[in-house]
Amino acid sequence: MTLTRSIQHRNPKPEVQSRKPSGATAMRLIVPLQGVVQGRGGLIFGSLIPCALFYFLQLYLKRHRSPNSQSSPSSPSTSSSNLAEMTRTSSRSNLLSRGSIGPVRISSRASSIAKPNDSPYYVGLDKASEDPYDRIGNPDGVIQLGLSENRLCFDLIEKWMLENLRDSIMGREGGDLSISGIATYQPFDGTMELKLAMAGFMSRVMGGAVSFEPLQMVLTAGATPAIETLCFCLADHGNAFLVPTPYYPGFDRDVKWRTGVELIPVHCRSTDNFMLTISALDQAFNQTRKRGTKIRGILLSNPANPVGNLLSREMLYDLLDFAREKNIHIISDEIFAGSMYGKEEFVSMAEVLDSEDSDKSRVHIVYGLSKDLSLPGFRVGMIYSFNENVLAAARKLTRFSSISAPTQRLLVSMLSDTRFIEEYIETNKKRIQNMHDLFVAGLQELGINCADSSAGLYCWADMSKLTPTYSEKGELELWDMLLNVAKINVTPGSACHCIEPGWFRCCFTALAPEDIPVVMGRIREVAEICTQSS
Amino acid sequence: MFSLLCTGVCNLLIANLLLVEFLHMGTHDLHPHVVDHRQELKHILLFGFCYEDVVYSLPLFSHSSILYPVLVHTQQLPYRKGLTNSARKIDMAIENEQPAVGLSKVAVSETHGEDSPYFAGWKAYDENPYDESSNQSGVIQMGLAENQVSFDLLEKYLEEHSEASSWGIGAPGFRENALFQDYHGLKSFRQAMANFMEQIRGGRAKFDPDRIVLTAGATAANELLTFILADPGDALLVPTPYYPGLDRDLRWRTGVKIVPIHCDSSNNFQVTPEALEAAYECAESMNLKVRGVLITNPSNPLGATIQRSVLEEILDFVTRKNIHLVSDEIYSGSTFSSSEFISIAEILEAHDYKNSERVHIVYSLSKDLGLPGFRVGTIYSYNDKVVTTARRMSSFTLISSQTQHLLACMLSNKEFTENYIKTNRESLRKRYEMIIKGLKNAGIECLKGNAGLFCWMNLSPLLEESTREGELALWKVILNEVRLNISPGSSCHCSEPGWFRVCFANMSEQTLEVALERIHKLMEQRKSKET
């Protein structure tokens, strides 16, 4: 007779639920109070009495709460090796004298961030930056394969900079482009000159198959704020995006942190070479929907980070159909579009839209120069959208993350130098291909296979044979050994929310070809230990 | 315990109200039966409780003696976002039209404030900008706080020091720089910033480079701090009149509210303990949790510094209430005389950094160095947790390493910075005196200022009626007939009508002369009308 249906349940994940202990269950207990409702005074008494009861309960909860549980949900930590890290960071911080009253509170969204980064992704990065490998200077240091950096073509950029740098910031011979052209307020969403240059670069990178309209661009200080800004525009607190796994570990931070948006993993498997399927999407969509969470879109990276595979043209059409059917958005992160090495052809979401005169307003593309031009320090990212309202809102939001004007001016002259850009793109592709082949061959010799890939700065390696147990715990144990024994920082698949244990992301573009034997030697060491012990 | 009960009842009432609204919103997540009989639902019984800042309520809908319990998570209901009615309508419209795909409340909200007169004036200027030679009848932009009086110094520096804009003679510098994406920022730049901030304060306060968090502009710094200090629905107290952009920067994405601390001309708009207390009580009566006070010192739009005694009072207040204090000091180097500006950092130093963990300073190079295009802002916090969090969050708003390098070179040059700070102060004072004198000749009084790129002008004798509408009517005349874009006090939430902010550093002296002439003419006309 009584139907119980809970709507808008937030975060059904176990770690969050445990945070509100008896609350939700206690509430259901008092549901059948029909008699009170039927009476006239029900509204007042019926509200006040249970209310009072619950506040006593709440008071009880508050009193009996352990002091550290006040700072919101614990992130899914698994690694134990960083306990030492935690105490060290907090002991560093006794610089100030405390006030007489308790310390002043910071917001609950901030206190979850204030805690030390304990995801293996960040722990590994820290460790590698403390003791970085150098072929001559520090041959015993940690080799960084966890950070997506492309160091293969620095010589080209360096040469260009030496030849052109001063002129391009200050303008040639102090003409019209004096300091006042860059010192004063510029459009927050990027100058038209840079947008034009970016449009040219992007269509060159994507093989000339698409042309990009500068008026549909919003430039931001890196792809990170581009993704966050889009999420702020597309979803409200508590809404969700579907994300195919394995995905870039940074999404957890970029998307969820300040927007309060959830990410729902759509699991892809090694048997399909981690290709996304519509049925998996549909399943995740329905399950989330059932829980009462509103899904606002799909967040994809194409070429995929970390796997490095591409979405086919047919798949893109299917995705568009799916999004249309469910009336949701698509964010396509195409930041690796220019870092291609395979024979396969990259198809941009923009290209598919070009050929189809469908409703484009649900598609938003993210791009940046950090990977394809290997200039992460310059912080140049972009939102390319077909939705006027999103563009208008994003343009206003860029005041919180715009690119500095001297950098914009420098990039305009660099990107407009077509001869340089042509040479750069070609050489870059060749060098990535070369490194990829060497690295994958090296791993194969050790009996480690990689997923088929044709783009990006990584290979996605299956080391499940080396893990002590076939589980996430086993994977992290191997990761720990690689980091602490072999001194190699790779990204474990669990940090990318991969559903199968034993996969690792290795970035090979921060290395020189000479370093590859060193890396392989170190992995061999660990492999031998693992096979001996098992 | 009593207060707990009270807030409980309040929450419950709010939730009850929301529920009624909720039913009218046509939400598709309700049980279909409930939706079908929405109009007939008579009895609504609500159980609610509050846990960890979230109100959970359990309404029971009764219809033909069947109960439909529904768990409502009020965090998702509109009051959390402080939506205006119109915005909600938009949201509903988006929900209902099938083909158009929905956007977030942030995207459709009006909190960006770009429709206020403050920004509307800019549009008028953009359409018809004044130019000394080509468009002498255009609108003169006096609404933009930009410092162009010291460009010659910057240009000279860059001409003489090519190592700043290139990467030095050796190549390796570039390699590190292009890849540098560490959110700590370049060590050399943070050191240079700390030194520059000390220099501006005449060495009376010390800054630790490890506490400097870099952001892309002070706008981002203010927003970031708000994200860290307050949760959606909490409040910050801000003395009026305040910079119109704060409505956007502090509220838009964070969901935080601003409660004004009303100041008036009787004491030159200085903050008093009574006004602080009144604002706090006002916030409490609205059931808002106050998380801090934000001051701008020197004040934008007043163009005046805050006195030591007032700063002491504010610090005392925030300590008593156990809340934060954000001191936005982006105009500190634009004080006409170094001794007239007292930073909150000096007060803390005098107190031996007691209670300093609640204090956060915002600074930027946009005003003092006249480089808003470079987008460089910083948060200096005495609270370790805030520093760590802000640094992580700054990933969303990093400064290009190339710009960091350029500025590190520039600011490390003591000779340049000393000369720059001194000359800049003098030029600004000269400008200020010029405009004050010109306005006085026209018969207009200004608040006595000692800092900033603007003056706070009193046109209340000219108002036909002493209201906000009267002020805006006069502002329209000045914009459309006199063709000056100035910012009306009401856009700064000033409680007295008739005050205007007039910027004077974003133009040449000749243009300023033209502007003063135009004002003079207006005053003459008004006088002749009266007689």
Chain B residues 293-352 with CB within 8 Å of chain A: 319, 322-324, 352
B402 contacts in chain A (CB < 8 Å): 377-378, 404, 406-407, 410
Nearest C-alpha in B relative to A229: B396
Radius of gyration of the CA atoms of chain A, in A: 26
The answer to whether the Cβ–Cβ distance between B402 and A236 falls below 8 Å is: no
Of A495, A411, A31, A60, the closest CA to residue A221 belongs to A411
Region class of A11: left (phi > 0), else alpha (psi between -120 and 50), else beta: left
Which residues in chain A have Cβ-Cβ distances shorter than 8 Å to B77?
none
8 Å CB contact of A46 and B354: no
The nearest CA of chain B is from the CA of A162 a distance in Å of 8
Looking at chain B, which residue has its C-alpha nearest residue A362?
A: B101
Pair B89, A26: CB distance under 8 Å = no
Q: Of B208, B253, B400, which is closest to A378 when you measure between CB atoms?
A: B400
pLDDT in tens, A432-444: 999 999 999 999 9
Return the bridge partners of A421, or none. Answer: none
* Segment 134-163 of chain A within 8 Å of chain B by CB: 149, 151, 154, 157-158, 161-162
Does the beta-carbon distance from A402 to B374 stay under 8 Å?
A: no
CB contact set of A90 (below 8 Å; sequence gap of 6+): A116
ipTM for the predicted complex comes to 0.75
Q: Does A279 touch chain B (CB under 8 A)?
A: no
Question: Rounded CA gap, A260 and A393, in Å?
Answer: 18
Q: Do B101 and A32 touch (CB under 8 A)?
A: no
Per-residue pLDDT tens digits of chain B, which is 531 residues long: 444 444 455 555 554 554 544 444 444 344 444 444 444 444 444 444 444 434 444 554 444 444 444 444 434 443 333 333 333 333 343 344 445 777 888 777 777 777 777 777 888 888 888 988 888 889 999 988 888 888 888 888 877 776 666 554 444 455 666 666 678 888 889 999 999 999 999 999 999 999 999 999 999 999 999 999 999 999 999 999 999 899 989 999 999 999 999 999 999 999 999 999 999 999 999 999 999 999 999 999 999 999 999 999 999 999 999 999 999 999 999 999 888 999 999 999 999 888 899 999 999 999 998 888 889 999 999 999 999 999 989 989 999 888 888 888 889 989 999 999 999 999 999 999 999 999 999 999 999 999 999 999 999 999 989 999 999 999 999 999 999 999 999 999 999 999 999 999 999 899 999 999 999 999 998 888 776
Q: Which of B214, B250, B221 is nearest to B398 (CA)?
A: B214
* Strands A449-450 vs A5-6: parallel, antiparallel or unpaired: unpaired
Q: Three-class SS string for B471-512? A: HHHHHHHHHHHHCEECEEHHHHCCCCCCEEEEECCCCCHHHH
Q: What are the backbone angles phi and psi of residue A530, rounded to the nearest 5°?
A: -65, -45
User: Rounded to whole angstroms, how far apart are CA atoms A3 and B60?
Assistant: 11
Name which of A104, A180, A183 is nearest B357 (Cβ-Cβ): A104
For testing contact with chain B, the best of A162, A163, A331, A399 (most B CBs within 10 A): A399
Contacts of B373 in chain A (CB under 8 A): 182-186, 404-406
Which two tokens mark A425?
Answer: 């793109």
Say which of A55, A179, A380 has its CB closest to residue B5: A55
- CB-based burial, A340-377: b 16+ in 10 Å, e otherwise: bbbeeebbbbbbbbeeeeebbbbbbbbbbbbbbbbbbb
Residue A67: is the preceding peptide bond cis (ω within 30°)? no
What local confidence, expressed as pLDDT, does residue A162 receive? 74
Residues of B with Cβ-Cβ distance to A391 under 8 angstroms: none
Q: How far apart are CA B364 and CA B196, in angstroms?
A: 11
| Chain A residues in contact with B36 (beta carbon < 8 A) | none
B4 in contact with A, Cβ within 8 Å = yes
Q: What is the pLDDT of residue B185?
A: 84
Q: For residues B213 and B381, is the Cβ–Cβ distance under 8 A?
A: yes
Of B382, B219, B109, B402, whose CA–CA distance to A225 is shortest? B219
Beta-carbon separation of B101 and A10 below 8 A = no
The tokens of B54 are what?
């979230």
Tell whether A44 lies on the interface with B, counting CB pairs under 8 A: no
* pLDDT at position B454: 94
Write down all domains in chain B, each with its CATH number in brackets: 117-150+423-530 (3.90.1150.10), 180-418 (3.40.640.10)
Report yes or no: B56 at the A interface, CB cutoff 8 Å.
yes
Q: State the catalytic residues of A.
A: 248, 333, 335, 371
- DSSP label at residue B40: G
Pairing label, strands A262-266, A240-244: parallel
Q: Do A485 and A475 meet the contact criterion of CB atoms below 8 Å apart?
A: no
Whether the CB-CB separation of B146 and B506 falls below 8 Å is answered with: yes
Q: Å from A369 to nearest chain B CA? A: 11
Does B328 participate in catalysis according to the annotation?
yes
Residues 119-138 of A with CB under 8 A from B: 129
Q: Mark whether B367 is an active-site residue.
A: yes
Spell out, as residue ranges, where chain A has pLDDT lower than 50: 1-43, 66-100, 172-177
State whether A183 and B386 contact (CB < 8 Å). Answer: no
Residue A25 touches partner B, C-beta closer than 8 Å: no
Contact A95 B384 (CB under 8 A): yes
List of chain A residues whose C-beta atoms are within 8 Å of the C-beta of residue B216: 221, 379, 400-404
| N residues, chain A | 534
Distance, CA of B372 to CA of B218 (rounded, Å): 10
pLDDT (0 to 100) of residue B513: 93
> How distant is the Cα of A147 from the closest Cα of chain B, in angstroms?
11
For B385, phi then psi, to 5°, come to -65, -40
Q: Cα distance from A128 to chain B (closest Cα, Å)?
A: 13
pLDDT of residue B428: 94
| Distance from C-alpha of B396 to C-alpha of B408, rounded to nearest angstrom | 22
The strands making up A295-301's β-sheet, listed across from edge to edge, are A217-220, A381-385, A363-368, A329-333, A295-301, A240-244, A262-266
Distance CA B200, CA B401 (A): 24
pLDDT confidence of residue A76: 38
